[in-house]
Structure 1
Amino acid sequence: MTAMPTDLPTSTDKASGAARVLFITRKWGPAVGGMETYSERLSEELARLHPLDVIALKGRDNGLPPTALALLLFPFAVLRRLFALRDAPAIIHCGDMAIWPLGLMARAFFPKARLVLSAHGTDVSYGLRGGFLGSAYEAYQKLGARLLGRAGVIANSHATHDRLKDIGWQPRAVVPLATDLRGSPPASFDPDTILFAGRLITQKGCSWFVREVMPLLPETMRLTVIGTRWDASEDAVLDFPRVNFLGPMPQTELARHFGTAGCVVMPNIERANGEFEGFGLIAPEAASVGGVVVAAATGGLKDAVINGETGFLLPPGDAKAWADRIIAIREWSAKARADFVAQSQLAAQRHFSWRRVAEATAQAYVQ
């Protein structure tokens, strides 16, 4: 069954004196994904601050994104809704950079409205892959930057912000993402378990970690990998004797593993073509439920980890620095670990909240 677009007008009394916002997104439930969560949770929190109209393309009931046909029809659904809107928006906000033409269309209806777009990692890094598709997408984004030169763009990290400028867009603000994951620190943990969670792609550094860091760690330490096979070149590391591959799992179960592991690693590497992680949501998710995060100081991970507070940032590709930090965490006293986890959870839950994202987004509207 083809997923059909939906419009979800939302407003609150608290927002009655604020500027009206029209939020347009092709990422919405029941599809599952980070951008879908962003669109839904940001909309919910924005509705507390502004009168809000939402035009969203719903995902499929099985959790997959909309079909290609639904995506092709979405502009026509947006056009229909634009004709039907009773109240002119002061702000038109597009949920990702790929749909900038819909922002251009909406501006034709409401030329006095300010146009804002959200930028995620893939929005700006895909063009760095090269090849026909990468080059075509890069040209597409540069065209958007020329046609919508005055549009404000909200980046999810400073790495995304800098890449936007290279393409020609005018980033207005950096607003790191958030998580709803919450939980009490686990009663026990295994200091010899290291956890990697995420897609198995070269950029995320799992194979580098297994090859370069694991040999420097005590023989009793093992790596648990939770995620999806994605890149065949990464699969070989799953046969390493000290690697335990569990595959994908529900977020609630993943949250339990975050807290019971000795540490959670995000060993991203820097690639020659310049591709980077736009944010790295695993980092605040893990910290929010009691995990000890160790991440590479590269790309958007530098905004996903508050160094020394919600985790530790290490030089990408420096195997000795990684081994030294992991061993140091392993040797913490029970009190030292409990103290760090308590303050890390508090900092993560305070900073990586959707209310903060909405408030920073609303502030960016008037900058």
Structure 2
Amino acid sequence: MRIALFTEVFLPKVDGVVTRVTRTLEQLEQLGHTALVFAPGDPPERFGAHQVVRTRSWSFPWYPEIMVGTPTPRIAREMRAFRPDIVHAVNPVWLAAYGVLSARRRNLPLLASFHTDVPSYTTAIGGGLQVLRAPVQTWTTALHNLAEVNLCTSRQMVDRAREVGIHDVDLWPKAVDTVGYHPRRRSREMRERLTGGHPDAPLALYVGRLSREKNLVQLLEPLRRLQGYGVRLALVGSGPGRSELEAVFAGTPTVFPGYLGGEDLAAAYASADVFAFPSTTETLGLVALESMASGVPVVGADAGGIPFAVEDGRTGFLVTPGDVEGWTDRLRALLTDPQLRARMGGQARADAEEHSWQAATESLVRSYEVALERHAGRRPMHRALRARG
């Protein structure tokens, strides 16, 4: 199968969406499929066997890390030369929205995947973007409803998509790398780094963007309350909110190691005692799955897609957003009870082992086939239009 994949984010940016896209591309290659990737920013020219087409882009003012892709004549040329069987629009808002319109104009089957609740982000980021929530929701719903199949990465987001009027919604199963992320990556050297030189202290870890929508300030008061136990916090990552967070957490035992990748990131996960994840805007929370694969239990917000990743009381704890007592109690329970931590960490690892990237990608390919079938029977004139075009 030949897949034209339009994505709003790609390498060298690293986040949960990019990880899913790149892992999926690896598996598609192994399964014998070919993709043509359209991406903003400064991506590599190829990813494995797949060609990557760089599109014109500009930096999003409220979030400089995000490059907004815009259409160019090259896209049409590359689409004609590639002759895709299907278009996959990854989180259509800007560039991937053009992918949706391109699929419809060319009478191609279309699958759209929902990875980021962009309307909710406009509220969480602030800065006057709140007024855009309603029009952004209308825009994204309309785009998704042009697709034969819409996929979400958690059951909670399937429900959310249906609530806002998106049709033909199904689940793209969760997946995680259980080879790269493993308990054996635990390192005293990394604990030294993440604890600011106190490797024997209890360590809570966060990995991801440092930005307002991640709700990291909710960890401040629990951290203060746990100082009698010597708890330390590491916020790994980068983003537009780093300087603000450094000011907020000043005077607390919090370390900002910056961005980590590869073996360093795997060591960071495995070297923590608990993963703290207060974000309420996740559609899945891949970092929670990576922590679980590393044998580290999660304390996460009972919101968005996190409950799809974390089983409360088994692989970690879920806490009502804003519940300071709840956050403090759950973090204390895991950070001060080695037996509970080991039991939950072991169960988290076992759960992660059941969700491979190959299985998730095979499910995606089946969804491509459904989109092809639905498109073929959608309107009789489709085949005639395609023959003329």
TM-score over 0.5 (shorter chain)? yes
Residue 27 of structure 1: SS of its match in structure 2? Answer: coil
The 2-side partners of 1:207 and 1:187 are apart by: 28
Q: In 2, Cα distance between the equivalents of 1:143 and 1:61?
A: 27
State the partner residue of 2:203: 193
**Identity of aligned pairs, percent?**
27
1:43 aligns with 2:54: no
Q: Is the 8 A contact 2:144 2:150 kept in 1?
A: no
3-state SS of paired residue (2:354): helix
Aligned position for 2:171:
174
In structure 2, the CA distance between the partners of 1:326 and 1:54, relative to structure 1 (3 Å rule), is same
Task: State the alpha-carbon separation in 1 of the partners of residues 154 and 41 from structure 2.
Answer: 26
Change (3 A) 1:145 1:101: farther
Cα drift, residue 345 of structure 1:
1.4
Q: Alpha carbons of 1:37 and 1:222: their partners in 2 closer, same or farther (altered >3 Å)?
A: closer
Alignment of 1:129-148 (within 5 A): 135-136=131-132, 138-139=134-135, 142-143=138-139, 145-146=141-142
Alignment check: 8 A CA contact 1:193 1:222 kept:
yes
Determine helix, strand or coil for the equivalent of 1:246: strand
1:206 aligns with 2:210: no
Quick check: 1:343 aligned with 2:369? no
Equivalent pair of 2:273/2:341 in contact (CA under 8 Å): no
Q: Are residues 1:223 and 2:226 paired?
A: no
Matched, 1:154 2:151: yes
- CA distance in 1 between counterparts of 2:222 and 2:16 reads 30
Structure 2 length-normalised TM = 0.72
- Gaps in structure 2 of 5+ consecutive residues: 45-53, 59-66, 192-199, 372-389
The match for 2:37 is 55
Two-structure CA RMSD over aligned residues (Å): 3.4
Following TM superposition, by how much is the alpha carbon of 1:333 offset from its aligned partner in structure 2, in angstroms?
A: 4.4
In structure 2, the CA distance between the partners of 1:285 and 1:30, relative to structure 1 (3 Å rule), is: same
User: Shift in Å at residue 245 of structure 1?
Assistant: 3.1
Aligned to 2:271: 260
Task: Please give the alpha-carbon distance, in whole angstroms, between the structure 2 residues aligned to 1:210 and 1:147.
Answer: 39
Amino acid across the alignment from 2:7: T
1:79 to 72, 76, 95: 76
Seen in structure 2, the aligned counterparts of structure 1 residues 208 and 24 have a Cα distance that, compared at 3 Å, is: closer
Who is 1:184 aligned against?
183
Total equivalences in the alignment: 336
Aligned equivalents of 2:82, 2:304: Cα separation in 1: 39
8 A contact 2:91–2:116 mirrored in 1? no
Which of 88, 98, 116 matches 1:121?
116
TM-score by length of 1: 0.76
The Cα of 1:265 is off from its aligned counterpart by: 0.9
Range with greater deviation from structure 2 (122-131 or 73-82): 122-131
Q: Distance in 1 between matches of 2:261 and 2:102?
A: 38
